Amino acid sequence: FSKIQSENCFHGRESPGSKELKRVYLNILPNSAFGCPTHDLHGFSYQGPPYPNAYALVDRLREQTPEELRYLITDLFEEITLFENKTVEAVAEKQADGKYLVRLTVECEKKKADAKGVEEVVPMNDFLEIGAYAKPESGKRYGKLLHRERVQLVGGKHELEFVVDELPYQAGIDPRNLLIDLVPADNLKKVTLR
């Protein structure tokens, strides 16, 4: 997303809409034929009526999205999709080579809400990030990113593991808060050394 900002493709502060576009950029665009989400929309520049609208953007994004990720277009632009992701436990064990094996226990759930706010749990088979951070410097919220990977998860409880080069301070699911999560504060947990 910092690439988008530096290329001035979008302007403004982080809002729910920009959070959605960030997720599109991180999940869809690396797999598509263009690097900036407005690339394919330049044909609409300086045109007279009828003017493009959000539907045109969604249609273009859908065309450029690989089949296995098209659910994101529906989740992000057409329905109210919420997540309840939680890191239950984060444990690290020092290995013989000096690296650390990190084991996460996470729970995830996907919900859809209607126009009145009534939520319903729906099946989940989504790509989510897991990751770990080093201890933050004084006054900082997060430390250096030690690990980040995308994993495909169904709803429920999962045991995941990965290796990092140094002792992590925090680890968890959706560490960058890309998803609209009802309680984002429980995504990361302080790592316990065993």
Where do the domains of the chain lie? 2-78, 82-193
pTM, two decimal places = 0.74
Q: Write phi, then psi, for 22 (nearest 5 degrees).
A: -60, -45
pLDDT recorded at residue 109? 97
Q: Name residue, tokens 């979008």.
A: 10
Domain 82-193 maps to which CATH number in 2.60.40, 2.40.50, 3.40.1000, 2.40.160?
2.60.40
Give the pLDDT means over successive 10-residue stretches in the chain (194 positions). Answer: 36 53 58 50 75 86 88 91 97 98 98 95 96 95 95 97 98 94 95 96
pLDDT recorded at residue 158? 98
Find the angle CA(113)-CA(21)-CA(46) to the nearest 5 degrees.
120
Residue 173 contacts residue 83 (beta carbons within 8 Å)? no
Give the integer Cα–Cα distance in Å for 104 and 148: 13
Q: Cα(first)–Cα(last) distance of the chain, in Å?
A: 36
Cα distances from 132 to residues 37, 91, 105, in angstroms, run 28, 11, 13
